[in-house]
Amino acid sequence: RPRHPPQAVNRRSPRIAAILVGGSVIMENIFNLPGLGRLTVTALTSRDYPLVSGVNLFFAAAVMLNNLVIDLVYAFLDPRVRYS
């Protein structure tokens, strides 16, 4: 018996995060809302690369935190999964 979560749980999280980030960029530009997506587009057009790197670092940390929460919740919900 494998003692790891199914691969589908781990594979979907980055894909969902990418869709959410792309969707935020589109929605913020269409409705003229302030946010991280619009900040990224503005930084890219003005060639502010340190800001782009900071926003990417923030999104990477958010994805990593999301993966950690998914792993902990999965272990809590399924008693067969044990992390040692």
C-alpha distances (whole Å) from 17 to each of 20, 29, 81 are 5, 18, 24
In the predicted model, what is the mean pLDDT of the chain? 80
Direct distance between the N- and C-terminal alpha carbons of the chain, in angstroms, rounded to an integer = 16
pLDDT of residue 19: 77
- Confidence band for 8, pLDDT divided at 50, 70 and 90: low
- Confidence band for 50, pLDDT divided at 50, 70 and 90: very high
What is the chain's Cα-based Rg? Answer: 17
Whether pLDDT at 49 is above 90:
yes
Q: For helices 36-45 and 49-77, give the axis angle rounded to 10 degrees.
A: 150
For 52-69, write each residue's pLDDT tens digit. 999 889 988 988 898 888
C-alpha angle 75/79/84, rounded to 5°?
60
